[in-house]
Amino acid sequence: MTARIIDGTAIGKAIREELKAEVAALRSRGVVPGLTVVLVGDDPASHVYVRMKGKAADELGMKSETVRLPADTPEVDLLALLDKLNADRAVHGILVQLPLPGHMDSSKVLLRMKPEKDVDGFHPVNVGKLVIGDPSGFRPCTPAGVQELLVRSGADPSGKHVVVVGRSLIVGRPVANILMQKAPGANATVTVAHTGTRDLAGITRQGEILVVAAGRPEVVTGDMIRPGAVVIDVGVNRVADAAAKNGHRLVGDVNFRQAVEVASMITPVPGGVGPLTIALLMRNTVQAARQAS
């Protein structure tokens, strides 16, 4: 068996194309969805992500702004900026790019944003709305992207046993909450495991759908996957590779070379979940603009 590759780039592009019509409809009413990304410091990966988000917003006809602050910016100044953005009616979505410098409290920064502008979906109000199934809240972009990948690739999770490896607030727990909802594209039986789970391989082999967000490179090997399972690899890890031009390569949390011989469908790294994260951020921003207008 050789797994079919789930093309996240193509699925993300399809979602953005769908959003163009809604953005055009809002603009016809004088509402231009506005996203402001705040970047503190000089983390190279963060700069790449921010550029990609800005490009996606511009292509959709949205208003995009990036505010760059030096790494030594006092926390109080960042909080004051968030107060200003909260009050700006032209700004519908705010995203503070993580990680923040060590002298800043990410929780305090998150709580300073208005929930109705938290398009990353991590404010406690939005987390609560996710848990109770309130569609007015914003779903975290990567977990929501996992659901889109499954549904749009023909692997509807309804009635399936989904095993999620990872319990983080960013991916593991929210994706479990999304997929267990009594709703279209969900309605799954969900087991949450993690790297501290006893007999992890015995659990992962039960999953008809396996979502891996463990934060460890290639921790899930081929013998841990149920034959014919659908595998969604959320991990992005940089590992040394002397044969690579730049001395490293990107791998997921799943050993792709082994998994592709066992699974029925699998996401690549890169080109799997990543493009969906950006597409769903755009969708959340459009939703914020719609709900504010």
Give yes or no: 258 in active site: no
Please tell me the distance from the alpha carbon of residue 217 to that of residue 269, in angstroms, as a whole number. 11
Catalytic residue among 7, 97, 117, 118: 97
Give yes or no: 97 in active site: yes
Indicate the SS3 state at residue 133: coil
Please tell me the distance from the alpha carbon of residue 274 to that of residue 110, in angstroms, as a whole number. 22
Catalytic residue among 53, 117, 129, 160: 53
Which of 184, 257, 197 minimizes the C-alpha distance to 225?
257
Please name every residue paired with 63 in a beta bridge, in sequence order, or none if there are none: 34
Q: Classify residue 50 by its DSSP letter.
A: H
Give yes or no: 199 in active site: no
Please tell me the distance from the alpha carbon of residue 204 to that of residue 210, in angstroms, as a whole number. 7
For residue 233 the two structure tokens come to: 């690899």
Catalytic residue among 7, 120, 233, 253: 120
Active centre residues (catalytic): 53, 97, 120
